Structure 1
């Protein structure tokens, strides 16, 4: 008997603090005006996507002591945007990244429970940690947690929030992690939670929401991130979108679920993916090359190289060769507020790799940066892209994709109009929503509104 076809999950990411967005294109719109978010969300809902996803940047990035202004920076508050989108959509899930390092469980739980009510059960929380003291300065907590403790705090944060979500069952849930137990009392909304990071008790003032709690997402490729997702998340974001890398990641994460008493279908693997469509595959490839040149201008290439070299390279020609001087290895970084430190943990080794590629392929600085930061996952005709997506999902390289267009807010429109109908014809993507909540869309087990179950970490 042949294996039944998997249903594909699709979501849309409104890109933010990165150079994916070609803001200089005449078709690009504002990242501040609500009309941009509304257009994007309505397109995703028209295409029957599972959810819209908003990332969050908590501080403007800097390079060389100045605001990094070569790509999109800044974003209105995530909760405010999602609450407003709840009023202009009916079925689309609403997912927001909220940091566990610089917030408190009661505040975040109250905001997400409120969003779940306002949206009739469409809220989701992407739980992330902060990794740099630079961002922490906005909260007077710069570097207050070593890296190895941030996931521990995140897990305790999530457990505390779940206690709050579950407190409206007609009885108090008292969570004592040290004692490894849950106790109950008779007051709805009353709670108590104690662990190494939090010791809170009081009265939660938002009744149980339509989903019971928001859907939980986690983004992270580290071993700690994978383990956190396996123990606590409903879906994990990843950058692994090729067949080989995707299957390896998929097998690894799904293989961790059993030790937490969970089934393989209780955690979805959703890579981020970009796309460029054309009338022919050759046309799409040419468009993709042009998009990459728009995303990586000469100035952008030099700034990106500075992040690896940790030096001022403003005097170098982006159409010329790589610097002969080696990267400067120092605790002091020229770039602040981005993940370059994690990408370039061994800058001398990375620089050697880049030099070898530039010499072998005769690439300029700009050409090399374009090659090393390639973003187009799916390139081709609508038929070709539909095939690529379906093949990867059926091969267990993912459960679906979070699409990141290079033009906002209208860049998703062509995908919705051309690729989605082809996936629907193949029977691997819904023709219409079958449920009302985000848990319904994702095929996750329901959490009844009166279910007071809670899982201790």
Structure 2
């Protein structure tokens, strides 16, 4: 390849307003056929992996199920195990919470996926201190916010100890293994006490790939110490460079090389035969993603009040911030400060509620002709703003097809993206080698 290799992954969205459900081309978010279509498209495009997000409780807004959630989404590792049977090389990544699971059981489930897929499994490690989500679990909201990453770090370390407890190359034959092939894991820490032997041998890639998405200082440090991939939100060239430099710099204190951690921001795209057509399409997608009801819901989350009597095409509410009407979402932080910032922006640009929400909730990362988008992606990677991108299409399940058909061949022509898989495991695709 002529430059740094571009890494690509495909995200199947669900708990946000990325997906345009009203488009006639949009299909089911829960039928297996939808997952299969998107995964097969990603594999046809020679992507590194297919990525599933997951929530542990349906969010609520004003006491009702939040309209931006998918109701009925199957459990991620079960879906990925089924996808292992209909794909051959594509990595399979699932989001699983380290706060409301136990290391031995989750390590076993992830190792099972890694074996079923012949070394293509990945775990996106997430945490939560949200008591609302915790009500679905025996311990409830017991975990303080400051303890999220201490538990997650101990969890990941223990899972790795279990995965590494079998001797390399050892597999059971006739229900027996040679003496000493399986080590006993003994661990007594702040959050977990475990003593026993793991039931599964090492997988073809040694152990599952670890993905992490935290952006706080502690989250970045956790990723630098433990992650193989960061699912970042820093998709612009300037922000991407700053994030890339910061996280790669942190690797040194853990004895790691820069190539051992891949930084892959989430990215959206809008294509057109001309740049003008692509811009028009991007604007229309944004208006579909932020309809009148969605616009009001976003402002209600910040203002903490029922604003259903307000016109989405009218001005922001002239009200103080209330106590809150949404449960289960990532906390906004200082809502009063956010409200003040939004109000100043709306006044400066003369924006209605809906126009403001479109302005502040993000835009398509890459907009233009296929040639332009391929060039933008290559630029980000060559200039160290990212190692690649996790693409989030706005249509399910066919939204990735156009990108694979029109942009991937151009990246291949540039010599920065594979034309065929050269390895079998996800670690092979990412170029990160086996675990230490």
The TM-score range, normalised by the shorter chain, is: over 0.9
After TM superposition, give the deviation of residue 190 of structure 1 in Å.
Answer: 2.9
Instruction: Give CA deviations for 1:369-389 in whole Å, capped at 9, x if unaligned.
Output: 111112310111101100110
Q: Does 1:296 align with 2:290?
A: yes
Q: Which residue of 2 aligns with 1:450?
A: none
Q: Is the 8 A contact 1:60 1:74 kept in 2?
A: no
Q: Is the 8 A contact 2:242 2:385 kept in 1?
A: yes
Q: Is the 8 A contact 1:18 1:73 kept in 2?
A: no
Residues 131 and 423 of structure 1: is their aligned pair in 2 closer, same or farther, counting only changes over 3 Å? same
Q: Which residue of 2 aligns with 1:35?
A: 33
Q: Is the 8 A contact 1:163 1:193 kept in 2?
A: no
- Aligned 1:299-338 pairs, distance under 5 A: 299-328=293-322, 330=323, 333-338=324-329
Q: Does 1:131 align with 2:116?
A: no
Instruction: Give CA deviations for 1:65-85 in whole Å, capped at 9, x if unaligned.
Output: 111124534410011100000
Which region of structure 1 is more displaced relative to structure 2, 198-207 or 421-430?
198-207
Q: Which residue of 2 aligns with 1:188?
A: 182
Give the Cα separation in 2 of the matches to 1:53 and 1:32. 15
Q: Is the 8 A contact 2:2 2:415 kept in 1?
A: no
Uncovered stretches (5+) of structure 2, i.e. residues with no partner: 170-178
After TM superposition, give the deviation of residue 251 of structure 1 in Å.
Answer: 0.2
Q: Is the 8 A contact 2:278 2:369 kept in 1?
A: yes
Q: Is the 8 A contact 1:354 1:368 kept in 2?
A: yes
Residue of 353, 357, 362 corresponding to 1:374: 362
After TM superposition, give the deviation of residue 420 of structure 1 in Å.
Answer: 0.2
Moved segments of 4+, more than 6 Å: none
- Aligned 1:324-363 pairs, distance under 5 A: 324-328=318-322, 330=323, 333-339=324-330, 341=331, 343=332, 345-363=333-351
TM-score normalised by length of structure 2: 0.96
Residues 58 and 351 of structure 1: is their aligned pair in 2 closer, same or farther, counting only changes over 3 Å? same
Q: Which residue of 1 aligns with 2:88?
A: 90
- Aligned 1:14-413 pairs, distance under 5 A: 14-70=12-68, 72-169=70-167, 186=180, 188=182, 190-328=184-322, 330=323, 333-339=324-330, 341=331, 343=332, 345-413=333-401
SS at match of 2:230: strand
Residue of 10, 13, 38 corresponding to 1:12: 10
Q: Is the 8 A contact 1:21 1:72 kept in 2?
A: no
Give the Cα separation in 2 of the matches to 1:370 and 1:48. 33
Q: Is the 8 A contact 2:91 2:120 kept in 1?
A: yes
Instruction: Give CA deviations for 1:254-303 in whole Å, capped at 9, x if unaligned.
Output: 00000000001111100000001111111111111111111111011101
Give the Cα separation in 2 of the matches to 1:80 and 1:72. 17
Instruction: Give CA deviations for 1:104-142 in whole Å, capped at 9, x if unaligned.
Output: 001111011111110010000111111311011011323
SS at match of 1:327: coil
Q: Is the 8 A contact 2:59 2:69 kept in 1?
A: no
Give the Cα separation in 1 of the matches to 2:374 and 2:160. 38
Q: Is the 8 A contact 1:166 1:208 kept in 2?
A: yes
Q: Is the 8 A contact 2:28 2:34 kept in 1?
A: yes
After TM superposition, give the deviation of residue 16 of structure 1 in Å.
Answer: 1.1
Give the Cα separation in 2 of the matches to 1:288 and 1:71. 23
Residues 196 and 265 of structure 1: is their aligned pair in 2 closer, same or farther, counting only changes over 3 Å? same
CA root-mean-square deviation = 1.5
Which region of structure 1 is more displaced relative to structure 2, 3-12 or 145-154?
3-12
Instruction: Give CA deviations for 1:141-199 in whole Å, capped at 9, x if unaligned.
Output: 2320111111000000001101110111189xxxxxxxxxxxxx936153222211111
Give the Cα separation in 1 of the matches to 2:434 and 2:149. 27
Q: Is the 8 A contact 1:32 1:76 kept in 2?
A: yes
Give the Cα separation in 1 of the matches to 2:293 and 2:71. 16
Q: Is the 8 A contact 1:6 1:393 kept in 2?
A: yes
Residue of 410, 413, 417 corresponding to 2:405: 417
Q: Provide the aligned length of Structure 1 versus Structure 2.
A: 427
Instruction: Give CA deviations for 1:215-253 in whole Å, capped at 9, x if unaligned.
Output: 111111100110001001111111001111000000000
After TM superposition, give the deviation of residue 4 of structure 1 in Å.
Answer: 6.1
Q: Is the 8 A contact 1:57 1:74 kept in 2?
A: no
Q: Is the 8 A contact 1:52 1:93 kept in 2?
A: yes
Residues 84 and 429 of structure 1: is their aligned pair in 2 closer, same or farther, counting only changes over 3 Å? same
Residues 255 and 353 of structure 1: is their aligned pair in 2 closer, same or farther, counting only changes over 3 Å? same
TM-score normalised by length of structure 1: 0.91
